[in-house]
Amino acid sequence: MNIRHQKTKQILDLFERISAIPRCSKHEEKIGAFLLDWAEKNGLQSKKDKVGNVLIKVPASPGYEKSGTVVIQGHMDMVCEKTADSPHDFAKDPIRFVFDGEWLKADGTTLGADNGIALAMAMVLALDQSAAHPPLELLFTVDEETGLTGANALQGDFIAGKILLNVDSEDEGVFTVGCAGGRDTRISLAVHYEDAPEGFVMARLKAGGMNGGHSGVNINEERANAIRVLVRALLQVRREHDVRLADISGGTAHNAIPRDAWADIFIPRDSFKDIERTVSELEAVFRHEFKKTDPNLKASVELQLETMGKRPLNTADSGRIIDLLFALPHGVAAMSTEMKGLVETSNNEASVRITNSKLEIVTSQRSSVMSRLHALTWRIEAIARLAGANAVSGGGYPSWQPNLQSPLLARCKDVYRKLFGKEPHVEAIHAGLECGIIGDKKEGMDMISFGPTLKNPHSPDEKIHVESIGKVWDFMVELLKSLK
Provide the annotated active-site residues. Answer: 77, 144
Q: What is the 3-state secondary structure (H, E, C) of 335-399?
A: ECCCCCCCEEEEEEEEEEEEECCEEEEEEEEEECCHHHHHHHHHHHHHHHHHCCCEEEECCCECC
Query: Is 347 within 8 Å of 363 (Cβ atoms)?
Result: yes
Query: Is 151 within 8 Å of 437 (Cβ atoms)?
Result: yes
Q: How far apart are CA 255 and CA 427, in angstroms?
A: 21
Query: Is 178 within 8 Å of 400 (Cβ atoms)?
Result: yes
Burial class (CB in 10 A: 0-12, 13-18, 19+), 300: middle
Q: What is the 3-state secondary structure (H, E, C) of 280-327?
A: HHHHHHHHHHCCCCCCCCEEEEEECCCCCCCCCECHHHHHHHHHHHHH
226-240 vs 315-327: helix axis angle to the nearest 10? 140
Q: How far apart are the first and last CA of the chain?
A: 37
Q: Nearest to residue 78, comparing CAs of 46, 43, 42, 114?
A: 114
Q: Is 472 helix (H, G, I), strand (E, B) or coil?
A: helix
Q: How far apart are CA 188 and CA 166, in angstroms?
A: 36
